[in-house]
Amino acid sequence: MAIEGKVEAELELKSTPDMYFKRLKSEIHHAPNASSDKIHAIEVHEEIINYHPPGGPENCIFAELAIKS
pLDDT at 40: 63
pLDDT at 52: 59
- Reported as a single tens digit per residue, the pLDDT across 3-48 is 666 666 665 667 777 777 777 677 766 665 655 566 666 665 555 5
pLDDT at 28: 66
Query: What residue spans of 1-69 are helical by DSSP H?
Result: 17-26, 31-34
pLDDT at 17: 72
Instruction: Name the pTM for this structure.
Output: 0.32
